[in-house]
Structure 1
Amino acid sequence: MQPKLPIQCPSCESSLSVTQLSCSNCSTSVSGNYTLPLLLQITEEEQNFILQFFLTSGSLKEMATQMGNSYPTVRNKLDDIINKINQLKTK
């Protein structure tokens, strides 16, 4: 199993930032203080929901059927993710 990229500090739960990237081919390293891409700042569950949305061509009805949930439940989940992403964009 591949380790998951942490997005929150395990000590204080603040957002983490990327401080170093390295090339496994030539060992070049780049250092700095970079924010995580927007979609990596949401939970894995939210990322999977977005992926499922994409794979069902944006059909919330199909997602509801696959997930065994009602359409309004799936719609509310999508709205929650949209609101969270909008809040992250303004930070």
Structure 2
Amino acid sequence: MSKVPLRCPACDSAMQVTQLHCPVCDTQVQGHFTVSPILHLTAQQLHFVEVFLKCRGNIREVERELGISYPTVRARLDEVIQHLGYHPSKPEESSTGLDAIVQFEHGELSFEETLEKLRKG
């Protein structure tokens, strides 16, 4: 089955869902229906969300599954969050001790920076 076209192929305006059809009993419903913002994600973003959910949000597992680094996982997650209309928190606002340790393991933070983040809690 084809993906729902969300943009008009002629003028690139947003398309509206106005009819639903049941292929079993041939019932049709007409009206103006909203679609989830998730349908507006790109194929790459949808794949990332599927892997993220499959891994239950465990960033290390997502890293392994997709073969990408911790910062790339965080960047893709932030991209999806923004695409859905939310504002991802800044790393320093959501950083935990585990985040600091993972960043240190990936060479993103020095030993001193890691200790400082752990002290700040």
TM-score normalised per structure 2: 0.63
- Structure 1 vs Structure 2 CA RMSD: 1.5
The equivalent residue for 1:74 is 73
Question: Cα distance, 1:4 vs. partner?
Answer: 2.2
Aligned residues: 86
Which is bigger in relative contact order (C-alpha 8 A, separation at least 6)?
Answer: 1
Quote the sequence identity (%).
Answer: 37
The equivalent residue for 2:57 is 58
For residues 15 and 65 of structure 1, the distance between their equivalents in structure 2, rounded to whole angstroms, comes to 36
1:48 maps to amino acid:
H
For residues 32 and 54 of structure 2, the distance between their equivalents in structure 1, rounded to whole angstroms, comes to 33
Gaps of 5+ in 1: none
The equivalent residue for 1:31 is 30
Tell which structure's C-alpha radius of gyration is larger.
2
Higher helix share: 2
1:82 maps to amino acid:
I
For residues 10 and 60 of structure 1, the distance between their equivalents in structure 2, rounded to whole angstroms, comes to 37
Gaps of 5+ in 2: 87-121
TM-score normalised per structure 1: 0.81
Question: Cα distance, 1:41 vs. partner?
Answer: 2.0
Matched, 1:45 2:38: no
